[in-house]
Amino acid sequence: MQMFKQIGRLATALAVTLGLAACAAVGPDIRTDYDSTVDFTAFRTFAFMDRAERGQVRSYDTLVDRRIMAAVTRELEARGYRQAEAAPDLLVNFAMLTEDVQEVRAVPATVVPPPWYGWRGGYYYPWPAYTYETRVDSYQRGTLFVDLVDAERRQLVWEGRAVGRVTRAAREDPAAAVENGVGEIFARFPFRAGP
């Protein structure tokens, strides 16, 4: 009886641990990097790269393009940068893509077998036997890239990336999803415009 209580406690602890791990992995994975040799106080203005430079062959900006541009503009202006089409200090490049992902993994499954050695029932207790279940998780993963390029030297000086699962909420409200993604990327942008 004591062994069953112990197994129950272990199973509860495992469930709580997995639940907390799942909660921690809800948001997108944010990564940023920058050129540490660059003096970011030298930059005051920015502009977006044109469609051809961004690798777009179409002659218009999509709704997502416009939402990303609006969100990036808000973030940069909040840090003192001004948008300037003529001779900007920084050029902004961005891209967003989605891909279908299938993750196959083996997870432990606990099975309690019947007692062995029935004729010695008082001496041997069943123990949890471990097997593995194969689980396939199919979902759509989205990636948002934002690059800041020194316009004069045409060199990348800062980059940010958000990678995460495309949720139902993101599909139902793509404007908020873009706003949140750009906001989380720029939360790791430590610079402000020069005086």
**Strands, E, within the chain: which ranges?**
29-34, 45-48, 82-83, 90-111, 129-150, 155-165
> How far is the CA of 46 from the CAs of 4, 5, 147, 177, in angstroms?
65, 64, 12, 24
- Write down the pLDDT at residue 23: 42
Predicted local confidence at residue 52, as pLDDT:
77
> Tell me, what DSSP letter sits at residue 151?
T
Enter the DSSP assignment of 153: T
- Measured distance between the N- and C-terminal CA atoms of the chain, rounded to whole angstroms: 73
User: One digit per residue, pLDDT tens: the chain, 195 residues?
Assistant: 554 444 444 333 333 333 433 444 567 899 999 999 999 999 999 999 988 787 777 778 889 999 999 999 999 999 999 999 899 999 999 998 889 888 888 887 766 655 555 555 555 555 556 677 888 888 889 999 999 999 999 999 999 999 999 888 888 999 999 999 999 999 999 999 988
